[in-house]
Amino acid sequence: VYKGMSYEEMVSIRKRNLNPTLSTLYRKPLAFYKGSKQWLFDLDGNRYLDMFGGISTISVGHCHPKITKVLTEQSDTLGHVSNVYFHEKIHEYAKRLADTMPGNLKCVYFVNSGSEANDLALLMARAHTGKYDIFSLKNCYHGMTYQVMEMTSLSTYRFSVPGSPGIYKTTVPDVYKGVWGGSKCRDSPVQANRKCSCMGICEAGIKYIEEFKSDLNCMVSKNNLAGFWAETIQGVGGIVQFPKNYIKGVYEVVKQNGGLFVADEVQAGFGRTGDHFWGFEMHGITPDIVTMAKGIGNGFPLAAVVTTPEIAQGLGKATHFNTFGGNPLACAVGIAVLDIIEEEKLQENAKIVGTDLILDLAKLRDKYEIIGDVRGKGLMIGIELVEDKTSKKPLSPERCMDILEKCKELGLVVGKGGSYGNILRLSPPMCITKEDATFTVEVLDKAISEIA
């Protein structure tokens, strides 16, 4: 039984002492005090199925006993020591993480958040290439440091302050709403019975690549491309998947222009997409730099950048230092997360449970006019809510909110995303079961039937 601070007191402190623009999901925000596996408990002890996983962050389940154990043991032994000394954990973890990577991606830098990871990668790309210009995709989210904010491309996160120079955006190849279409060509189980006629060379993908080339020619001073950033599936932007050949094509253009390709795996990494451990593998490329956070630490502040020894050389021109990055506690947790994913076969579970869930949600899509699209891979799933299937106009914020509130009432926590907040996002702890997936579909069915 919860005996802590009252809800009313939290409301009053929030008004006075917390970031006033920090948004909360519900009309009356939920307050949780306890978590276990895929479950969250509110102050009154009500249980919710957590299908948002702290925004793709809880990878192996809330309060996993193995993580509690290694954290306790590590803080009993050595809680913190500066990286100017050696300690065992950072070495063990760097090796373990590098072992999950293909090719020459063997050099690991530890930081504390996804924003920091992308910020460091930005420095790395510029330091290594000696060039300046950066491209990212519209509708992307890469974080909130001053420089990275400029790469992030969602109006909700724009401040009217001078931006960081040399950062450009190109059209997001959104296969559902995008100008060039291509909805049959993404890597998602929902496409299985909707085969595209293009035989793997998606025309929409080619047109988007052409558009990037044209943006590159217009906007970048000659030979000045340092890097191209992409989430391997866009998360905050609303689980946007790209035409199958797009990333590979862009990768080649970036290489031809002397730039580096940076894959942001903050949401898609660590087995969440099911078929692969890393999202970039589904696109058939090996990036030059990979950034990761969230699921890496199952909620512990931990993030990393992995690159090749050659690119890492660029940072040798001055000292790069981070006080907490690679802290013994963080590394102990990171190792435990890798162990648990393997021991509990969570990547396989994400594939099996996620695939069935996506296919069941696709049945809801066929049932309701207001479900325009169901997409995703493994346990990274999006449901795009629209006024009607023809116009694809985003469902009004009020009606989207009604659906979220109804789900909450029925014990289900889901997220939302996209510029209009009309895309439901499912990115639960990867330990959810088939029963949880069935419950999710039943609740969404009920909630949507009331609003539709």
Contacts (Cβ under 8 Å, ≥6 apart) of 55: 235, 267, 294, 415, 427
- Residue 429 CB, nearest distance to ligand PMP (Å)? 17
Token pair of 273 as six digits: 């997409």
Q: Nearer to ligand PMP by C-beta: 250 or 448?
A: 250
DSSP string, 32-64: EEEEEBTEEEETT--EEEESSHHHHT-SS-BT-
Cα distances from 408 to residues 25, 45, 314, 402, 404, in angstroms, run: 11, 14, 49, 10, 6
Task: For residue 363, give the amino acid letter.
Answer: K
- Residue 53 CB, nearest distance to ligand PMP (Å)? 12
Indicate whether 136 belongs to the interface with ligand PMP (CB under 6 A).
no
Per CB under 6 A, the segment of 140-148, 240-248, 362-370, 424-432 that binds ligand PMP is: 140-148
Q: Count the alpha carbons within 13 Å of 305 in the hemisphere toward its beta carbon.
A: 28
Indicate whether 166 belongs to the interface with ligand PMP (CB under 6 A).
no
Per CB under 6 A, the segment of 111-119, 182-190, 281-289, 366-374 that binds ligand PMP is: 111-119
Contacts with ligand PMP, 332-371, as mask; x by CB under 6 A: ----------------------------------------
Task: For residue 250, give the amino acid letter.
Answer: V
Q: Nearer to ligand PMP by C-beta: 235 or 354?
A: 235
- Residue 391 CB, nearest distance to ligand PMP (Å)? 29
Measured between alpha carbons, how far is 312 from 294 in angstroms, rounded to an integer?
23
Contacts (Cβ under 8 Å, ≥6 apart) of 143: 113, 114, 115, 116, 117, 118, 119, 149, 151, 152
Taking CB under 6 A as the criterion, the residue among 119, 150, 174, 264 binding ligand PMP is 264
Q: Which residues of 231-262 are buried (b: 16+ CB within 10 A; e: fewer)?
A: bbbbbbbbbbbbbbbbbebbbebbeebebbbb
Per CB under 6 A, the segment of 29-37, 108-116, 338-346, 426-434 that binds ligand PMP is: 108-116
Helix 328-343 with 346-367: angle, nearest 10 deg = 70
- Residue 144 CB, nearest distance to ligand PMP (Å)? 6
Which residue lies nearest ligand PMP, judged by its C-beta?
Answer: 114
Q: Nearer to ligand PMP by C-beta: 237 or 365?
A: 237
Total residues in contact with ligand PMP, by rule CB under 6 A:
15
Measured between alpha carbons, how far is 240 from 350 in angstroms, rounded to an integer?
18
Name residues contacting ligand PMP, limited to 52-91 (CB under 6 A).
55
Indicate whether 119 belongs to the interface with ligand PMP (CB under 6 A).
no
Adjacent-strand bridge partners of 303: 111
Token pair of 78 as six digits: 């050595």
Taking CB under 6 A as the criterion, the residue among 143, 274, 295, 428 binding ligand PMP is 143
Indicate whether 229 belongs to the interface with ligand PMP (CB under 6 A).
no
- Residue 57 CB, nearest distance to ligand PMP (Å)? 8
Adjacent-strand bridge partners of 289: 262, 307
Indicate whether 114 belongs to the interface with ligand PMP (CB under 6 A).
yes
Token pair of 335 as six digits: 């190792």
Task: For residue 67, give the amino acid letter.
Answer: I
Taking CB under 6 A as the criterion, the residue among 50, 174, 231, 288 binding ligand PMP is 231
Indicate whether 141 belongs to the interface with ligand PMP (CB under 6 A).
yes
Indicate whether 235 belongs to the interface with ligand PMP (CB under 6 A).
yes
- Residue 313 CB, nearest distance to ligand PMP (Å)? 25
Taking CB under 6 A as the criterion, the residue among 59, 74, 113, 273 binding ligand PMP is 113
Sheet of 415-417, strands arranged across: 371-377, 380-385, 423-426, 415-417
- Residue 148 CB, nearest distance to ligand PMP (Å)? 8
Indicate whether 142 belongs to the interface with ligand PMP (CB under 6 A).
yes
Taking CB under 6 A as the criterion, the residue among 70, 101, 236, 362 binding ligand PMP is 236
Taking CB under 6 A as the criterion, the residue among 38, 59, 74, 115 binding ligand PMP is 115
Cα distances from 306 to residues 98, 101, 136, 153, 161, in angstroms, run: 8, 9, 19, 24, 31
Please name the residue that has the structure tokens 């907490």: 324
- Residue 405 CB, nearest distance to ligand PMP (Å)? 23
Q: Nearer to ligand PMP by C-beta: 377 or 406?
A: 377
Measured between alpha carbons, how far is 371 from 373 in angstroms, rounded to an integer?
6
Long-range contacts of residues 209-215, Cβ cutoff 8 Å, at least 24 apart: 209/246, 209/249, 209/250, 209/253, 211/170, 211/171, 212/135, 212/170, 212/171, 212/250, 212/253, 213/253, 215/135, 215/168, 215/170, 215/171
- Residue 291 CB, nearest distance to ligand PMP (Å)? 7
Indicate whether 288 belongs to the interface with ligand PMP (CB under 6 A).
no
Indicate whether 293 belongs to the interface with ligand PMP (CB under 6 A).
yes
Residues near ligand PMP (CB under 6 A): 55, 113-115, 118, 141-143, 231, 235-236, 264, 266-267, 293
